[in-house]
Chain A
Amino acid sequence: MRNEIDIKNKIKANSSLFTNFVKNAVNASPKVQNNFLDVSAQVALTVQKILEDADLITNLEYKGKDFWSENKCKTACFIDGGVDKTSIISSAPLSIRTGSYIVKPDAADKNREFFEESMVFLGDLYDPKNELYDFAEDDFDEDQMLNKKKDGARIIFEAVTIVKHILLNRKFDYCFLHGPIEATVMPFTVMGFPTFTKFAVENMLPFYNKNKLNAEARHFINVYLEALNSIKKSKFPTYGIVETSNSAPYIKNLLYSYKSKGTISEKDFKNTLSTIKKYKITDSHLLEIILQSGQAIKPLEVKKQIKGFSVTSGSAWEDKMDSFPSVHIGYIKVNDHSAPIRIESLNQSKNLIKDYEYILATARLLPNYGFPVGLNVVDKFAKIPNWMSKASRKYYATHLLKQAIRSKDQNTISLAVKILSKKVRSWRNRPLGGLAR
């Protein structure tokens, strides 16, 4: 067990908690600044004590060469989504796709690895006839709504990709998603968030035909819930992996359960939570200090969708929140110099340690970044390649001009021409597209 000096040194030696604090220190009062080190060290020590008391810390084994020669027979699937973040006024072209990287190391070359473009959408979200979202006259700030629509589409696509693999009865030993296994759905509960089109839902979840797909059934919340329920039933272990946490669900839940057991008093619980909030302490920050390279903490069951507190009050979706499955959250510290990665699953794993060791081994293949390399690989694949967004750019530019001309409004045409003559700059692509050219 580490002592206070150890912890303080560790905090100062480059931890993200410290860097984060220094960044915010400018705005903090001098007293807060003075107390920071003492307080955070104290929180870390306390949390560490509880973790040890609950026997949540575990050592993972990693022997690179032996591990891989034993596990080369396993089939793993890595999933990630990519969005082409282009947007210009009056047109919202969107290319989004999810890719799957499926690999069985010991298979013959021909069958060793597959890159699948699992879901693709190419369209204009402002086009009333687009095939993804129903058109809605929304009173909300357009940009904000557009971003939500993009996020919603990406989240659904990723979940549905896993569902697709399940439906196809794929024989995976592991399935990993880049990002949370269950996203917070609160942003999509806002009034006026459009429903998915019938066409989109039928394609995404062919088995889902609740009430002949009425508007309610086609809303993000219901479609996503349906997808998650399907994932929960999958035969292969499925994990969402997140680089860093910017909140503290694990710590808060841990403290909460100790409070419920009566080990922590109501008052101490409340005070500690407010301290955590004040110093913006996250799971990543604390666990980075507490865990050593190769250590993990066993998962806790956490509710992602919290009723009342985060759903806009009076939302029609408030009651739905309880239907969402809870998530098992754990952490693995891959190496000495990066924050632990968050591991999420909908089910409690039967072979937790083996699974975590597999994740650790895939992450050790990126020794500096400390993140499962398969997800890095599929991330590059899912990114909209350069030539593709270049082509879609032209496609939409033409589309836009046609529309403008059709409207025969002189102002619109000149606006369209202006937009078209903008340089590539305004069409930001994701960096380093997969296809070099």
Chain B
Amino acid sequence: MNTKKWKSIGTVLGETNISEFYFSLKNYKAKKGDIITTESKIPSSEGNVVPVTVWGKISSIESSNAFFPTEAAQELTNENIDIRDTILPTTRDELICKVIILGFTLKDNLKLMPLNYPVRPAATVSYPSSEDVEALLISDLDSEHPLFIGSLLARDAVKIKIDADNLVSRHVSIFGMSGSGKTVMVRRIMDELLQKKYPMVVLDIHGDYLGFIQKQKKLYPNNQVKLFYPNLSVSSDDKEIIYTLIDKLGNSLTDPQKDFLSSLLEKVKYEGGSLLKYIELLVRKAREYASDSSKSFKNIRPASMYVVVRSLGQVAKKLKNMEQTNFRHRQKMSKLKFEELPDAATEPEKIVNKGQLSILYLKGYENLPASAIVSILLENLFKHRQEVEEEIPPFLTIIEEAHNFIPSRSEDKDNLPSVDTIRKVITEGRKFGTGVMIISQRPSRLDETIASQCNSQIVFRMVNQKDQRATTRDSETLSVDDSKQLPNLANGQGIISGQVVNFSLPVQIKFDAELINDDIGNENFITAVENWDDKESVKQRKKFAKDFSNITSIDKRRAN
């Protein structure tokens, strides 16, 4: 590290302390988020004075031309005078930067240590070379498994890496408004973890991750990428989930009707398998009980039983609908091979396996069933990690649109079965290697305890104040200055903080264009309309519409 080569960019101002200082910046020499240094001296533990390099990050910049009187603008406008012709000052923008001190390094050792003595007022502030900044970040990260994610926002040349070990064991939250770059970021991390053969399970609602399937052969020849569609397969252990599903999806039931449903679930044994089949079985059995009139159910009137039968029918119909919607979506992507989600209880290795990425495609499913599916899946996988035999390796679960699975209590969606499951997986993830990545555009709508368990955060553009507040509330490392920056970030620019890095850093995430799912470039509605051709049925309907409307209008004529 040759500190002599660094350019001087400003001067430390006024009072300083050990955590921050201000400096006056030369025009255009640095930006917000830049890493800067100043040479200082500290007392060492041996009692002598040692020269150190203090590192800091520009957390805000204020510019003012204190010398330009507002009155002058009036005259310039009135007389149409070019300010550059006059004696008015034009180049004296006073730039004052606030710097958060990151720590100090000693000569020839890039280990960043906490500063315990203030920097010197009037000292020169320097702009370290990109190589040196990168070297510092890497050495400070001290990671056995660094993952490359992008570059320092203010400096392209400084590559940013994050620590994989903390990422997979300590949970990460990724927040930002729609289109801000969350999914692009997740795909970047997944790409890196695939290289490391780390198993992942992705809950994909929109098909954002199907690109991995398409590009598997080309980009990930040594990995397996599996694409699953949900199968609500249940066992008798899942009674509670089944009850909740029926209760929520069906008609609302009175207390006696609910009693009947519970008893029914007790009586009708099921060895496991498709939930839909089980419900159909329940419908048959319930009808039997209702017709042979209360031999087994003394206190329940047959009328109540029929209500439950109808409700169960309703549930079955809804489930069938969702399955079919999902099926139709899958059909549109005929080139992709979808497999039915294996039973996580009995064949977990088909879902979590070294080098394998498993994508669970949930499009078409309503909140509650999707939550049930996820809950059952994760519950089983977690169990396998807990057991002594460890049938599956550690893995990372990636939850897109997380507010659907772990809504905050105030969202009034209690009883989503996935909330408890995910909470458990997260709290004990460190022990069992079940890391979770939570992605959401509405952090304010997430379960607070789960969100606060994420000790690393990546935040993208965010305008909504409530969401900003929730984000800083859940984070120990995101500063107020950082959060002020959130509304102004562009696509793919995020602030990364927490245990995957050592101090918060604004990052431009690398965009992997080849990981985009090219089958559903479906935001191009204009082209879709341009190429629109009515389906046969619609054409027919339009053809006859005129005739029918004639009939109606003639019919309505008043008889004279």
Contacts and interface: CB of A to CB of B under 8 A. Distances in A.
Given A64-B81, A65-B79, A436 B71 contact: no
Top 4 nearest A-B pairs (CB, nearest first) are A64-B79, A387-B14, A68-B85, A72-B85
Contacts of A109: 90-91
Contacts of B74: 367-368
B519 interface: no
Interface string B70-105: 011011101111101111111110101000000000
Nearest to B22: A437
A131 B359 CA distance: 78
A112 interface: yes
Interface in A351-407: 362, 364-369, 373-374, 376-377, 380-381, 387-388, 390-391, 394
Contacts of B300: none
A98 B51 CA distance: 35
28 contacts: A64-B78, A64-B81, A65-B80, A68-B85, A69-B85, A72-B85, A72-B86, A103-B87, A105-B84, A105-B85, A113-B89, A365-B76, A366-B69, A366-B75, A367-B71, A367-B74, A369-B71, A374-B87, A377-B67, A377-B69, A380-B66, A387-B15, A388-B14, A435-B96, A436-B64, A436-B66, A437-B22, A437-B62
B245 interface: no
Given A109-B91, A435-B94, A437-B22, A68 B86 contact: yes
A434 interface: yes
A381 B72 contact: no
A365 B89 contact: no
B91 A390 contact: no
A365 B75 contact: yes
Interface band, chain B: 20 to 34
A163 B117 CA distance: 43
A112 B15 CA distance: 32
A118 B13 CA distance: 20
Contact of B88 (A65, A377, A388): A377
Contact of B94 (A71, A106, A113, A436): A436
Given A64-B75, A365-B75, A101 B89 contact: yes
Contact of B90 (A112, A367, A432, A436): A112
A390 B14 contact: yes
A113 B13 CA distance: 23
Given A113-B92, A373-B69, 9 more contacts: A64-B79, A78-B87, A101-B67, A365-B72, A367-B78, A380-B67, A388-B14, A435-B24, A437-B13
Q: Which residue, of B68, B74, B81, has the highest number of chain A Cβ atoms within 10 A?
A: B81
A343 interface: no
B81 A65 contact: yes
A436 B24 CA distance: 11
A377 B66 CA distance: 8
Nearest to A111: B91
A391 B121 contact: yes
A118 B292 CA distance: 108
A380 B92 CA distance: 12
A333 to B, nearest CB: 17
Interface string B374-391: 000000000000000000
A302 B94 CA distance: 42
Nearest to A362: B87
A427 to B, nearest CB: 14
A434 B67 contact: yes
Contacts of A373: 69, 72, 86-88
B16 to A, nearest CB: 10
A217 B89 CA distance: 40
A96 B344 CA distance: 79
A374 B75 CA distance: 15
Interface residues of A, number: 39
Q: Which residue, of B62, B80, B88, has the highest number of chain A Cβ atoms within 10 A?
A: B88
A5 B328 CA distance: 96
B79 to A, nearest CB: 3
A103 B96 contact: no
Nearest to A372: B87
Contact of A377 (B24, B80, B89, B96): B89
A398 to B, nearest CB: 13
A346 interface: no
A376 B87 CA distance: 11
A112 B62 CA distance: 23
Interface string A211-226: 0000000000000000
A60 interface: no
Interface string B90-134: 111010100000000000000000000000010000000000000
A172 interface: no
Contacts of A65: 79-82, 85
A113 B90 contact: yes
A388 B69 CA distance: 22
Contacts of A106: 84-85
A364 B62 contact: no
A109 B27 CA distance: 11
A390 B14 CA distance: 8
Nearest to A101: B89
B239 to A, nearest CB: 65
A373 B68 CA distance: 9
Nearest to A390: B14
A354 B206 CA distance: 75
B69 A436 contact: no
B15 A394 contact: yes
B69 A376 contact: yes
A115 interface: yes
A385 to B, nearest CB: 9
Nearest to B74: A367
A155 interface: no
Contacts of B67: 101, 377, 380-381, 434
Contact of B62 (A369, A381, A394, A436): A436
B120 to A, nearest CB: 12
B96 to A, nearest CB: 6
A364 B75 CA distance: 7
A72 B87 CA distance: 8
A76 interface: yes
Contacts of A64: 75, 78-81
Interface string B425-442: 000000000000000000
B90 A366 contact: no
A69 B22 CA distance: 39
Contacts of A369: 69, 71
A114 to B, nearest CB: 10
B93 to A, nearest CB: 11
Nearest to A435: B94
Nearest to B84: A105
Contact of A435 (B66, B68, B84): B66
Given A64-B81, A65-B81, A373-B72, A434 B66 contact: yes
Nearest to A378: B67
Contacts of B85: 65, 68-69, 71-72, 105-106
